[in-house]
Structures are given as structure tokens and as C-alpha cells.
Amino acid sequence: MKINKKVEEAINKQVNAELYSAYLYLGMSAKCTELNLKGLANWLYVQAQEEMTHAMKFYKFVLERGGHSVMPAIEGVTTEWKSPLAMFEAAYEHEQKVSAMINNIMDIALAERDHATASMLNWFVDEQVEEEANSSEIADKLKLIGDSKEGLFMLDKDLSTRVFVDSTQPAGGAQA
């Protein structure tokens, strides 16, 4: 069944939002690299990669359902934050907005009785719980650390271990 036009339009906006998210996290990663916080930079770079895979999952879904993909310009992002805490607070706020957008698409899909889209969106609804929790947790840790250079060093070291795993693919599945 061809994708519903209202759903298609909302998902195309979401593709743009996910690409914006990747851009945002890439800008944050660059700023942390400039500050020689390579662990935070790594965590944010991996997050940017994850957001790109989210955009591609939405993009492919529209095309697989016989829809038309629209590519509007991606809005520019800031590359200046007063502190790592401000950066992660902004990330948490951003993830809350993304969650609201995905919930809106779910509402449209349910109203239009588009069960295929609702099924696909369940993965994103669950993913956003994790996205919000991760950015909130790091912001909370940065609040606890305060002005402690030692604490920041330890958190930076901890975040350096994150690696990219394409969670949009089934376990053991081939990537396109």
C-alpha cells in the first residue's frame, strides 16, 4: 500500500530533522575536539553517525512505500556553547523536540490508519527514550562534576569508549 500523503510529508520533515540532529552533534563534537575533550568529542561524533542512520531509515521507508522524498535545506547549527554542560543541556532539549516530532508522526499515522508506519515508528519511540536518557545522564554528570577538572577528565575518558553500532539494522543483519 502506498504511503499516505500526510504521513509522507511528516516523515520527510523528520528526515530533515534527523539530518539537522547529525549536524548539531557534529558541531558539538568539533567544539569538544577544539577544547581537547576527545572523549566527549567521540561520544558526540558517534551520536552524529547514529542520527544519520535514523535519517536514512526514514528516507528508505518513504521510498519503499512508494512515496516521494523531499530534500529541503538543513538549517545551520550553532558551534558555540559556553561549557560542556550547556552543550549537553542543549542536546537533551533537542532530543525532547525530536521525541515530540516522532510522537506527532505516530499520531498522524494512527489517525490515518497507517499501521505500517505506526509499526516502524515504534522503534523510534523506544529509541527516543534512550536518546533523552543518554543526553540527560551526561548533563547530570556534568552538573555533579561542576568545576572539577579531575571529574571532567574522568568523564571524558569514560565517553571515549563509545563506538558506533548501527542499531537500525537487525542483529547480524546485512547493512545496505
User: Is 71 part of any domain?
Assistant: yes
The count of domains in the chain is 1
C-alpha angle with apex 151: 33 to 153, nearest 5 degrees? 35
Residue 68 CB partners (closer than 8 Å, separation 6+): 8, 62
pLDDT at residue number 174: 52
User: Is 169 part of any domain?
Assistant: no
How far is the CA of 24 from the CAs of 29, 30, 79, 159, in angstroms?
9, 10, 8, 18
Copy the grid coordinates of residue 81. Answer: 556553547
pLDDT at residue number 165: 86
The domain that holds 116 is classified in CATH as 1.20.1260.10
pLDDT tens for the chain, residues 1 to 176? 799 999 999 999 999 999 999 999 999 999 999 999 999 999 999 999 999 999 999 999 999 999 999 988 999 998 899 999 999 999 999 999 999 999 999 999 999 999 999 999 999 999 999 999 999 999 999 999 999 999 999 999 999 999 988 877 776 555 54
pLDDT at residue number 176: 46
User: Is 155 part of any domain?
Assistant: yes
User: Is 168 part of any domain?
Assistant: no
pLDDT at residue number 173: 53
Answer for the pair 5, 24: CB distance below 8 angstroms, yes or no: no
Which residue range is the domain that position 70 belongs to?
A: 5-159
